[in-house]
Amino acid sequence: MTRVSLLCGMAQPPRSLGNIAAGAAGSVCGVPILSLYLAKLEAEKRHVEEVAGLHMRTIEALALAIEAKDQNTHAHLQRVRIYAVELARKLRLPQEEIEAIQAAALLHDIGKLAVPEHIISKPGS
């Protein structure tokens, strides 16, 4: 049997817990084990959501850089995003895939960042 010792920062000796299985009864420093697990799970979920938000803001910043390079791109990027997201919704794709499609739509012209300005803004383009 695996034994786990937990210190709770109180003036009492550490507690030993035998194999902790899902739904196992017990507590650590007076806090139920399941409550500790759920709190940790909720904190990790919030962290993932924060990172996903940061990821999308980074993509939006890159899209702004693309727009700054070519004035005609702004309306185009927005149209592509709207069409792509609406098609994904009509296809009843999962929300995660819709968010990925939205990011891809904003980034599909990212190669323009590497193209010299005189080529992008040449007459007749």
CA separation for the pair 6, 15 (Å, rounded): 6
Residue pLDDT, tens place only, 25-82: 566 666 688 888 888 999 999 999 899 889 888 888 888 887 777 766 668 888 999 9
Are 109 and 76 spatial neighbours (Cβ–Cβ below 8 Å)? yes
Q: Is the pTM of this model over 0.85?
A: no
Supply the pLDDT for residue 124: 66
Residue 21, both tokens? 């299985």
Query: Which positions are annotated as active-site residues?
Result: 112
**Burial call 48-85: b when 16+ CB within 10 Å, e when fewer:** eeeeeeeeeeebeebbeebbebbeebeeebeebbeebb
Q: What percent of the chain has pLDDT over 90?
A: 26
Query: What is the per-residue pLDDT for 88?
Result: 97
